[in-house]
Structure 1
Amino acid sequence: MKPKTKKRLKKILFITCASIIVLIVLLHFFLGHIVKAAVETMVPRITGTPVKMESFSFSIFSGKARMRNFIIGNPEGYKTEYAFKLVELLVEVNMDTIFSKKLEIDEIKVNGVHVVYEAGIASSNIGDINANVSKFAGAGKAKEKAEKPAKEAKGEGRKIQVNDFYFNGAQLSLSAVLLQGVTTTIPINDIHLQGIGKNDEGVLIGDAADQIFGAVYREIGEASSGTKALKGFF
């Protein structure tokens, strides 16, 4: 290789490496702002409600992501402050597995979830949000359901392992429009799941979600069962 060619090649490699480093630094410092803007712009189109997120951060060096104060507001006509609030979400990914067949998530912490169920005359805030989400999904949802079993039967999709999942400090509040925002609040038991997908292959993301949400729904069910005296009112 000619010296002149070597010099050009070194220059190209230097520029390429420098560009990659600059991109990594920019992502490290500005990714949170990009995600925040995207969430606050896109999610309201799905829920049909105001959505706010205080902050989001992710370190590509440590694999740690953090989201604070994610709030889904209410549809028009409801009196409570919001329908859903998440104080903090922490996720720690093992970056050594980012390109492997099985992505290893060391820890997921869900802190301070607050669900507010407000009964209206014909529906509820949660029911209306669910209807908005279903409307947004449209025909694509049916197509996804039709394709999902075939894909999962073949074991297609990224496999993951979640070493620890924590769900702490959650609350469920009940209200009605006639109460003008007054609520009855019930604590939800803390949850700690371990070793989700802890085998050679791991589990599909959907299967991991089923295990996690199944445990959360059970605890919410237990909490709400203690409000049977209010059933006739709501």
Structure 2
Amino acid sequence: MGKGTLILGVLGGGLTLGVVFAGIGWLQRDAILDSMLERTLRSVTGVEAQLRDVDSQPFQGEFSIDTLLLSNPDGFKTPYVLKVDRLDIKLDPDTLWQDTVQIQSIAVEGVQIQLEQKLARNNIATIVDQLQASKGSSNSGGSSGSGSGKQIEIERLTIRGVDAQVKVSAIANLGLTRTLEIEDIEVTNLDTYNAESKLLEAISSAVTTAILSEIGKSATGDLIPLVSG
């Protein structure tokens, strides 16, 4: 698996699970849920995050976000690094106050990723470095993966409508842009301990397939570094 593919997977998987874990811990407090999630994402990614129309109905076991926007790190020009049109979570409300929260489904719709490569550095790698640093700091502090002491079990997680735009600003490839259409992703039987690795594997596999397909259409071979070691 190439580093470019890996970082796309880490970003998609890490942020999806980050929203879920953070949301579970505060689902009962709808009045401050959106600002809390924005602060959490800003803290772990190091960039500004915007959430619109966050809605939680804990007694019905429903939680949704209309539009999640993650800004670019300093020094990059694309409008944003990640945009999610819709995220829906359905869970068993009776388990919200138990040690293990049972989630029937998580559906992520309309994901746009903008990867901007500048010489040896790109915007997603910058955020992933911050994600990994935040995770390491959290683990050294002895906190749990959910940040709330709760465990989770997820029956099904789907990610649909994923487009990844790759923009290369290196000297030899001025203005080069490629758009990858990534196949729908579905992962089942996730829990607190295996969710990150299983989701990362599924996303990375889908991204690799899309990159290889685009390489097959292109005579330039400019996307090969994304799947090479």
Normalization by structure 1: what TM-score? 0.67
Q: Which of 195, 198, 223 is 2:210 aligned to? A: 223
1:179-190 alignment runs, 5 A limit: 183-190=177-184
Name the % identity: 21
SS at match of 1:49: coil
1:135-150 alignment runs, 5 A limit: 135-136=133-134, 140=137, 143=140
User: What amino acid does structure 2 have at the position aligned with 1:183?
Assistant: T
Q: Which of 190, 203, 206 is 2:193 aligned to? A: 206
RMSD: 3.2
1:156-171 alignment runs, 5 A limit: 158-171=150-163
* C-alpha displacement of 1:180: 8.3
- Aligned equivalents of 2:111, 2:54: Cα separation in 1: 17
- Aligned equivalents of 1:220, 1:75: Cα separation in 2: 22
Aligned to 2:168: 176
Which structure carries more helix by proportion? 1
Shift in alpha-carbon separation, 1:215–1:38, aligned structure 2, 3 A: same
Q: In structure 2, list runs of 5 or more residues that go unmatched.
A: 1-26, 216-220
Aligned to 2:54: 56
- Aligned equivalents of 1:183, 1:68: Cα separation in 2: 28
* C-alpha displacement of 1:141: 5.2
Higher relative contact order (CA 8 A, sep 6+): 2
Cα contact 1:80–1:182 (8 A) shared by 2: no
User: What amino acid does structure 2 have at the position aligned with 1:175?
Assistant: K
Cα contact 1:52–1:71 (8 A) shared by 2: yes
Shift in alpha-carbon separation, 1:127–1:104, aligned structure 2, 3 A: same
Number of aligned residue pairs: give it.
190
Highest Rg: 1 or 2? 1
1:65-144 alignment runs, 5 A limit: 65-100=63-98, 102-136=100-134, 140=137, 143=140
* C-alpha displacement of 1:49: 2.0
Cα contact 2:169–2:175 (8 A) shared by 1: yes
Normalization by structure 2: what TM-score? 0.69
Cα contact 2:211–2:223 (8 A) shared by 1: no
